[in-house]
Chain A
Amino acid sequence: MNVARAHRPEPAELDAADRRIVNRLQEGLPLVPSPYAAVAAELSLSEGELLYRLERLLEAGVLSRFGPMYHAERLGGGLTLAALEVPEDDFERVAEKVNAFPEVAHNYRREHRLNMWFVLATETPQRIAEVIEAIEAATGLAVFNMPKQEEFHVRLHLPV
């Protein structure tokens, strides 16, 4: 059995208007007085229909979020990518321990000797080291800390 697959959301059925909305709103909402009306007009939809469909796309989990995307470090926070080598028979326990930290923003299983990869987002840069220490204490495993040293590109755009 493929354990991985059981935890993956299935691809959604989207009609043409949904696709236009998903593509257009990944680009960004304009900062104008009636932004949804402006985007709706571009997409040949009414404002009400855009808002209704957007709400539905969020409820259905097609979009995981809609809103401002903040730059953690420019907000003064700390951010890092970290990995663990988790013994297979201990994976669920460790996942539960790691996920219990509110500073863990994302956590993914990946197929490698380092099989658990998570992003830590903290209120201050100093706090990263404390959380890593706490995760090591809670799991009994060494954390591989891989903070970014240079950013070359950040732009997720998935056309549908």
Chain B
Amino acid sequence: MSVSTCPSEPAPAAGFVDGLDPLDRDIVLATQGGLPLVPDPWSAVGKPLGLAGNEVRARMQRMIDSGVIRRIAAVPNHYRLGYVANGMTVWDVDDAHVERLGREVAGIPGVSHCYRRPRHLPEWPYNLFAMLHGRSQGEVEQQAEALRERLGDACRDHRILYSSRILKKTGLRLARSSGRPR
């Protein structure tokens, strides 16, 4: 997923981040649709911004170092790669243990994303989410079984919610009209 979602610390309040200046922001805007497929993509990104390729590269490296960019990579379409079973597994885990167990199950093969999220009682008792990907529902169920074993008695209940339709998938977009001076 291109929305690589985020950590636990609260986000800054003003839509602006330490160390991310207007030129960094321009680079974000210029690359959120993708990196150019040309031999020197850094210069291609920099040219309309009046930046040399080396400067673009240095700024992107700083954004990687500060965690603003997770990495520069290909985002696969699960289905097109044969991963037709994509299960959002949700677990009702004892609050006293969810933090430790969340870290443990995050490393189990097949888990791409793992988060603690709030319950909505009575409709929704689940507080731990782990996305699993397999070539069949059987494979996902095996992965889920490995999670269930690891969670043990701290887990009261769980469900696997398979995605059955992609209704929309555009990924993250920063609005250009964000009020930052260019």
A binding-site residues for B, Cβ under 8 Å: 3-4, 7-12, 14, 21-22, 25-29, 31, 33-37, 47, 51, 54-55, 57-58, 60-79, 81, 83, 85, 95, 98-99, 102, 104-114, 116-119, 121, 123-126, 144-158, 160
Further contacts, 6 of them, CB under 8 A, given A25-B73, A62-B80, A76-B16: A33-B42, A77-B174, A79-B3, A146-B118, A146-B120, A158-B78
- Please, could you name 24 A-B residue pairs with CB atoms under 8 Å apart, sorted by A? A8-B84, A9-B79, A11-B84, A29-B72, A36-B41, A62-B77, A63-B77, A64-B169, A66-B35, A66-B73, A69-B70, A70-B28, A72-B5, A72-B172, A76-B16, A77-B11, A79-B11, A102-B175, A105-B169, A106-B166, A114-B124, A125-B10, A158-B76, A158-B133
CA distance A11 to B112 in the complex (A): 20
B39-69 near A? 1/0 per residue, CB < 8 Å: 1111000000000011001001101101111
Interface residues in B94-108 by Cβ distance below 8 A to A read 99, 102-103, 105-107
Contact B74 A26 (CB under 8 A): yes
CA distance A54 to B174 in the complex (A): 25
**Dominant secondary structure at the A interface:** mixed
Which residue from chain B places its CB closest to the CB of A51 in the assembled complex? B37
Instruction: Please list the 8 inter-chain residue pairs (A to B) with the smallest Cβ-Cβ separation, ordered nearest first.
Output: A153-B106, A4-B164, A25-B74, A152-B106, A73-B6, A109-B165, A107-B167, A28-B71
Please name all residues of chain A whose beta carbon is closer than 8 Å to the beta carbon of B6 when the two chains form the complex.
Answer: 71-74, 79, 148, 151
Task: Identify which of B15, B35, B74, B166 contacts A108 (C-beta below 8 A).
Answer: B166
Contact B77 A150 (CB under 8 A): no
Contact B39 A34 (CB under 8 A): yes
Which residue from chain A places its CB closest to the CB of B24 in the assembled complex? A75
